[in-house]
Amino acid sequence: AWEAEVFELVKANYGELMSIFMQYAKGEDATAGGATMAQEELTVFSVDCGLETPEFPMTKIITIFERADVVDDVGGSGKSKSGQKASKGDGALELHEFLEALIMIAFARANPKYGESEEATEPEGEPLPTCLASLLTKQVLVNAKRDAMAEQLKIVQKVRQYSRAKRPRRHSRFP
């Protein structure tokens, strides 16, 4: 149902989202080439994209960061689905955790009162995947910074495709 649609939406935008993640995961030290995004970096991303609203303050974004960073305990076993030890997290998001946080931000931003009380059990705003599509097209993909190297790679790949298409084809002639 909605999970498959969310997956397809993330898959369709994966290259852009990875470039965005890599840019913000660098933080202040562009030479670090970081593979994780700290809370401060998610905050900068959120400000750049205009994710904060009066109904959805930065404190909720920070809470979502903390939730995405948690390694869940499955069935009280003390282990996650992958067998990793359940824990509080390492204080930084890897790419898959960033994508999870983005999905949670999209839903919570579109439905800020959801889950706050026992009466608020149904989304009052846009459901997933609609709210994720809105967040991506109206906020994230138009406002977020990209990793410059990823952008250069895209240009080189397009030039290669163009030059292959324009290259005259040699036909082999066999008697």
Q: Is the separation of the CB atoms in 119 and 24 below 8 Å? A: no
Distance of CA 30 to the CA centre of its chain: 20
Q: What is the pLDDT of residue 14?
A: 96
CB-based burial label for 77 (10 Å; 0-12, 13-18, 19+): exposed
With tokens 């030290």, the residue in question is 29
> Is the model's pLDDT at 175 over the cut of 70?
no
Q: What is the mean pLDDT of the chain?
A: 86
Give the model's confidence band at 122: pLDDT under 50 very low, under 70 low, under 90 confident, else very high. Answer: confident
Q: Which of 1, 19, 34, 9 has the alpha carbon at shortest distance from 106?
A: 9
Which of 22, 43, 45 has its CA nearest to residue 32? 22
Q: CA 64, CA 109: separation in Å to the nearest integer?
A: 11
Instruction: Give the whole-number percent of the chain exceeding pLDDT 70.
Output: 80
Q: Looking at residue 169, what is its pLDDT?
A: 60
pLDDT for 27: 67
Q: Per residue in 31-88, pLDDT tens?
A: 444 589 999 999 999 999 999 999 999 999 999 999 999 976 666 666 555 556 656 7
pLDDT for position 111? 94
- The encoded tokens of residue 73 equal 């305990």
Q: Find where tokens 């960033």 sit.
A: 98
